[in-house]
Amino acid sequence: MNDLRSDGSAPLDPRSLPLENQTAREVSLGELSLVFLKLGTIAFGGPAAHIAMMEQEFVRRRRWLTESEFLDRLGMANLIPGPSSTELAIFIGYTKRGWKGLLAAGCCFILPAAILVAAIAAVYVRFGALPQVAGILYGIKPAVIAIILQALWSLGRTAVKSWWLAAIGLIAIVLNGVGVSPLAVLALAGIASSAALWNKPRRENALVGVPFYRGWGLLLWSVAAVAAVPVTLLRLFLSFLKIGSVVFGSGYVLLAFLRTEFIQHLHWLTEKQLIDAVAVGQFTPGPVFTTATFIGYVVAGIPGAVVATVGIFVPGFLFVAVSGPLLPKLRRSAVAVKVLDGVVVGSLALMAVVAWQLGRAAIVDWATSAILVASAGLLLRFRINSAWIICGAAVVGWLARG
């Protein structure tokens, strides 16, 4: 009788209630870690697929979060620099188990992909010149370009909200194409987007804007400081720390910063190695940012892989930890909203430039052109998971060059 309600009826099963009315249960740190290890092992398909899997896992299946709680954390992840799906995982971990959960969720989601990418990098360094491996990469490269183009199309339809933002995007493409740094392009895009509000100063905008722009000033100072550091593991760490601190939008925007830093400035990579790194990040599960693990291994072996991985993901943990109190102020600031709109459009412009530059290296004959067209068609028309596209392209490339 103790299980009966006061009116004598049987208690309600919480799972029978609408998702918005369910009470989230306590979760052990071990259970949290195991779930994110599983997701990090099977999360193929890029950030959008990761987010969908998390919604299914934590809202529909385990009922750890309500729909509104999940969407709030997704919104936070999209407003701060870094890989959105990884930061969503970190937000969920923090919600369930505080600081320990923050570290456990993020590390467990990242670790499987980082280990796999490092193993592939070791094989690449040892056997990358073999015809069989070259054939696989020959097929994967144009598929990667198709995935980037599909992401551009999908994200652009949401991000380009006005003709003014479209113009900012086109100008950003031109600026980056003639050599202006990605960070400067993003800053100019944010400023241009907020121009319409310059004649409407508000007290709350100023209160939010001062720490926001001071933060960017500090960040720019740290970027300048990196330039004076010798080429060592410390330099590798600081380079990826810088990149992880400034990349807004999709993980594909990372490519523009990688190309500027490691090809144009440091001359540590070739165009071929960069596109190969991108390909590995695409056909492995977990965050696209584990491309850094591959580059770190190519540059400096296992220590380089560890340093690069830690460097690029640390900012995401820090941004999640501090963004909670700041987010309500940013949401109330018209200036901050406009700046972020411009930054997102500038990010897409950087993606477009990278797609063009990498495409010139990847599309070398009729076969690679056919793979590009077929991959783009499957992605746009049938919404095939990008992991299957990569696998199929790898098989085609291996057969064509085998």
Share of the chain above pLDDT 90, in %: 30
Q: 205 pLDDT exceeds 60?
A: no
Q: Is residue 262 predicted with pLDDT exceeding 50?
A: yes
Q: Give domain status of residue 123, yes or no.
A: no
Which tokens hold the place of 332?
A: 């109330």
Query: How many independent structural domains does the chain possess?
Result: 1
Q: What is the DSSP letter of 2?
A: T
Half-sphere exposure of 184 (CA within 13 A, CB side): 12
- 28-86 pLDDT, tens digit per residue, is 899 999 999 999 988 876 777 788 788 888 988 888 998 878 887 887 787 788 888 89
- The H or E element containing residue 353 is helix 334-362
* 74 found inside a domain: no
How does the average pLDDT of the chain come out, rounded? 80
Domain boundaries, position 187? 151-362
Q: Determine contact, residues 367/142, Cβ cutoff 8 Å.
A: no
Give me the half-sphere count of Cα atoms (radius 13 Å) on the Cβ side of residue 32: 25
293: helix, coil or strand? helix
Assess if residue 300 is contained within a domain: yes
262's CB contacts (< 8 A; 6+ apart) are 239, 268, 269, 274, 295, 299
Rounded (10°) CA dihedral 218, 311, 301, 298: -70
Residue 296 CB contacts under 8 Å (≥ 6 apart), including other chains: 236, 240, 304, 305, 306, 307, 308, 309
Q: Give the Cα separation of 128 and 29 in Å (integer).
A: 40
Helices and strands (H and E) in the chain: how many: 15, 0
CA distance 335 to 339: 6
Give the Cα separation of 226 and 186 in Å (integer): 19
Residue 26 confidence (pLDDT) above 70: yes
| Residue 214 pLDDT | 39
Q: pLDDT digit string (tens) for 355-367?
A: 888 888 889 899 9
DSSP state of 201: -
Q: Are 53 and 39 in contact (CB under 8 A)?
A: yes
Between 256 and 210, the more confident residue is 256
Q: Which amino acid is at 200?
A: K
- Please determine, for residue 20, whether its predicted confidence score (pLDDT) is greater than 50: no
- Whether residue 209 lies inside any domain: the answer is yes
Residue 12 is predicted with a pLDDT of: 44
Q: Across residues 143-171, what is the average pLDDT?
A: 86
Q: Is residue 346 part of a domain?
A: yes
- In a domain, residue 369? The reply is no
- pLDDT, mean of residues 330-339: 76
3-class SS of residue 164: helix
Residue 233 lies in a domain: yes
pLDDT of residue 330: 66
Measuring CA to CA, how many Å separate 259 from each of 147, 182, 274, 351? 18, 10, 7, 11
Report helix, strand and coil shares of the chain as percent, to nearest 5: 80, 0, 20
Kindly state the average pLDDT of the residues 358-384. Answer: 88
Residue 119 has a pLDDT of: 92
Number of neighbours of residue 381 by Cβ within 10 angstroms: 8
Residue at 269 is within a domain: yes
